[in-house]
């Protein structure tokens, strides 16, 4: 079963921070980490990344790894320059008030698995 970013947004009630971002792309899996080096080493193209980080480097890592998007947890608010960078790099930034454990569990229930 193929699930898109848009379906995850709807099912998990996520807020879209970058409205222009592509949300019809397929999600190939999920990855949860707050260490950029870990994401760079292990996340796969098309993965949806869950993190509490809100600095500019998350956008660079997501673009480099060709991730389908980033879910920022705990309602954290990135600065405007990060939103601008995400728009220019066409990285889909999403936000939730939920914590990482809850979001990952909900993604798993939707059939999203970690990279293998």
Do 74 and 94 touch, CB atoms closer than 8 A? no
Q: Identify which has the larger pLDDT, 2 or 64.
A: 64
pLDDT in tens, 86-99: 999 999 999 999 99
pLDDT of residue 115: 83
The domain limits of the chain are 5-109
Q: Residue 9 above 80 pLDDT?
A: yes
Does residue 22 surpass a pLDDT of 90? Answer: no
- Phi first, then psi: give them for residue 99, nearest 5 degrees: -90, 170
Strand, helix or coil at 29?
strand
pLDDT in tens, 28-80: 999 999 999 999 999 999 999 999 999 999 999 999 999 999 999 999 999 99
Per-residue burial over 30-60, b if 16 or more Cβ lie within 10 Å, else e, is: bbbbeeeeebeeebeebbbbbbebbeeebbe
pLDDT in tens, 100-116: 999 999 999 999 999 87
Please state which CATH class domain 5-109 belongs to: alpha beta
């Amino acid at each position: 079963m193929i699930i898109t970013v848009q379906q995850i947004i709807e099912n998990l009630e996520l807020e879209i921070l970058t409205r222009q971002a592509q949300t019809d792309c397929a999600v190939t899996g999920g990855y949860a980490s707050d260490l950029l080096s870990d994401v760079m080493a292990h996340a796969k193209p098309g993965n949806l990344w869950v993190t509490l980080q809100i600095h500019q480097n998350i956008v660079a890592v997501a673009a480099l790894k060709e991730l389908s998007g980033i879910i920022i947890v705990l309602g954290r608010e990135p600065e405007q320059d990060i939103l601008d960078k995400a728009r220019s790099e066409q990285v889909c930034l999403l936000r939730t008030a939920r914590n990482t454990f809850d979001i990952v569990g909900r993604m798993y229930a939707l059939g999203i698995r970690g990279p293998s």
